[in-house]
């Protein structure tokens, strides 16, 4: 690595950040990884590292400043970590390209985000802050449809609960409140309809949406009342007119948050009244959508474009044009709760036709807890095919081959030994 090579700071060294680190190195960049876990996988591939929690922006800024006092840092990016405040703080402190601190604040607070959308005329499901169980009960009685309770400032579907018939409002409030760092809870209308994940680049205020994945909620009833996604599917089956409407909606939402240069990830539902924004993140997505699914489905190197944006460059417009359209499907592995005693079929599944990635995230001896958020999923598979249906068959078959055997966790005995 040349001593004068440009350096990219990647905030997060988790497993899903590794492809971003490797892409930056492929581009000839020196890579500095920052993470609070000393054994984070990204450190193994980085040229240098900073030990600071991704959620501690003050500590990360301090570590980055100390490094920059003797070394260059040319850009900062978050990979598979919802830490816009940390990224913005580092960019501001070091004078690097990046989103404004105000934009990061909006993206970190779902109530403030939705308020910004409403002011800009961006349609969102009805929502409200909830400050007490009594208030939630009143809203539940007055609602003409299903409500969702969630923390104002969490991620990964933590603390997100549908208020289904029979679900105790006090329990739902407590679940959401416990997952909020600031103890704030909100409620919104659950809009029936297909949901999509989008991944876009914003250059000079112009938004180009490249990733467009249909989210799969076939296991919604199984994990009720929690809201658990089981992967996604590309290309979308939505009609072209709806796709165009979503593209326009994402662009308006990005502008409402003040994003003029960077990447945005949108969660959109297409309800009876048309597309609505559920949430938007001002970062690269997790779950390998940007690192694997988009390039497999379209031929577009989305991560390279994101890195160039982080360095203050403009990606080549031609590089953002899809080169092909292939089917790509992701499915997750959901073993029964208990202690992992064996993992079977992993190698066979990985050799399956079209399997691009197979990852098992647990080992024998690990505890599998009941599925309450996305962070508890035990593994995943991504498969590609000439068509979406072919990719779906391959992903489903590969996921079915992976068998994580668990043993029930026995309650501690209350007997006294003599």
Give the pLDDT confidence of 50-65 residue by residue, as tens digits. 999 999 999 999 999 9
For the entire predicted model, the pTM comes to 0.94
Q: What is the mean pLDDT of residues 157-176?
A: 96
Q: Please determine, for residue 346, whether its predicted confidence score (pLDDT) is greater than 70.
A: yes
Between 291 and 415, the higher pLDDT residue: 291
Q: Binning pLDDT at 50, 70 and 90, where does residue 71 land?
A: very high
Residue 161 has a pLDDT of 97
Q: Please determine, for residue 417, whether its predicted confidence score (pLDDT) is greater than 60.
A: no
Of 324, 336, 386, 384, give the one whose Cα is nearest residue 362.
336
Between 404 and 2, the higher pLDDT residue: 404
Is there a contact between 75 and 32 (Cβ–Cβ < 8 Å)? no
Residue 4 has a pLDDT of 74
CA distance 142 to 75: 49
Of 257, 298, 246, 249, give the one whose Cα is nearest residue 99.
257
Residue 409 has a pLDDT of 82
CA distances from 219 to 225, 327, 331 (A): 11, 21, 11
By CB atoms closer than 10 A (0-12, 13-18, 19+), residue 290 is buried
Q: Binning pLDDT at 50, 70 and 90, where does residue 415 land?
A: very low
Q: Binning pLDDT at 50, 70 and 90, where does residue 1 land?
A: low
CA distance 180 to 286: 20
Give the pLDDT confidence of 248-281 residue by residue, as tens digits. 999 999 999 999 999 999 999 999 999 999 999 9
Residue 414 has a pLDDT of 39
CA distance 258 to 280: 12
Residue 416 has a pLDDT of 35
Q: How many CA atoms lie within 13 A of 128 on its CB side?
A: 12
Residue 413 has a pLDDT of 39
Domains contained in the chain, CATH given: 7-96 (3.40.50.20), 101-109+193-325 (3.30.470.20), 126-189 (3.30.1490.20), 326-409 (3.30.470.20)
Residue 159 has which token pair? 């603390």
Q: Please determine, for residue 193, whether its predicted confidence score (pLDDT) is greater than 90.
A: yes
Of 159, 200, 162, 204, give the one whose Cα is nearest residue 183.
159
CA dihedral sign, ordered 302, 308, 313, 319: negative
Is there a contact between 80 and 235 (Cβ–Cβ < 8 Å)? no
Please give the mean pLDDT across all residues of the chain: 95
């Amino acid at each position: 690595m040349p001593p004068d090579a440009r350096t990219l700071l990647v905030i997060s060294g988790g497993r899903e950040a590794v492809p971003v680190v490797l892409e930056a190195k492929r581009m000839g960049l020196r890579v500095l990884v920052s993470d609070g876990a000393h054994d984070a996988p990204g450190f193994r591939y980085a040229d240098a590292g900073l030990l600071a929690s991704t959620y501690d922006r003050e500590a990360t800024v301090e570590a980055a400043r100390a490094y920059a006092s003797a070394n260059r840092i040319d850009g900062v990016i978050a990979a598979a970590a919802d830490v816009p405040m940390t990224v913005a703080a580092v960019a501001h402190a070091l004078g690097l390209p990046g989103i404004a601190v105000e934009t990061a604040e909006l993206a970190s607070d779902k109530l403030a985000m939705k308020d910004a959308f409403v002011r800009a005329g961006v349609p969102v499901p009805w929502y409200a802050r909830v400050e007490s169980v009594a208030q939630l009960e009143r809203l539940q009685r007055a609602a003409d449809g299903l409500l969702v309770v969630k923390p104002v400032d969490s991620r990964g579907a933590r603390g997100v609960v549908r208020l289904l018939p029979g679900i105790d409002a006090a329990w739902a409030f407590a679940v959401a409140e416990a997952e909020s760092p600031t103890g704030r809870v909100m409620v919104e209308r659950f809009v029936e309809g297909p949901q999509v994940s989008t991944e876009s680049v914003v250059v000079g205020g112009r938004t180009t949406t490249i990733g467009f994945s249909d989210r799969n909620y076939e296991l919604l009833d199984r994990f009720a009342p929690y809201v658990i996604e089981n992967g996604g599917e590309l290309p979308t089956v939505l009609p072209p007119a709806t796709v165009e409407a979503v593209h326009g909606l994402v662009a308006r939402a990005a502008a409402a948050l003040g994003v003029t240069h960077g990447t945005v990830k949108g969660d959109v539902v297409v309800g009876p009244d048309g597309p609505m924004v559920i949430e938007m993140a001002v970062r690269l997505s997790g779950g390998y959508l940007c690192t694997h699914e988009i390039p497999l489905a379209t031929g577009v190197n989305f991560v390279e474009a994101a890195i160039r944006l982080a360095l203050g460059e403009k990606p080549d417009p031609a590089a953002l044009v899809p080169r092909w359209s292939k089917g790509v499907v992701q499915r997750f592995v959901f073993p029964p709760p208990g202690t992992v005693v064996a993992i079977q079929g992993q190698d066979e599944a990985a050799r399956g036709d079209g399997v691009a990635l197979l990852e098992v995230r647990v080992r024998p001896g690990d505890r599998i807890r009941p599925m309450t958020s996305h962070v508890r999923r035990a593994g995943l598979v991504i498969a590609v095919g000439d068509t979406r249906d072919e990719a779906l068959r391959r992903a489903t078959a590969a996921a079915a081959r992976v068998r994580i055997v668990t043993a029930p966790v026995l309650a501690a005995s209350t007997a006294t030994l003599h």
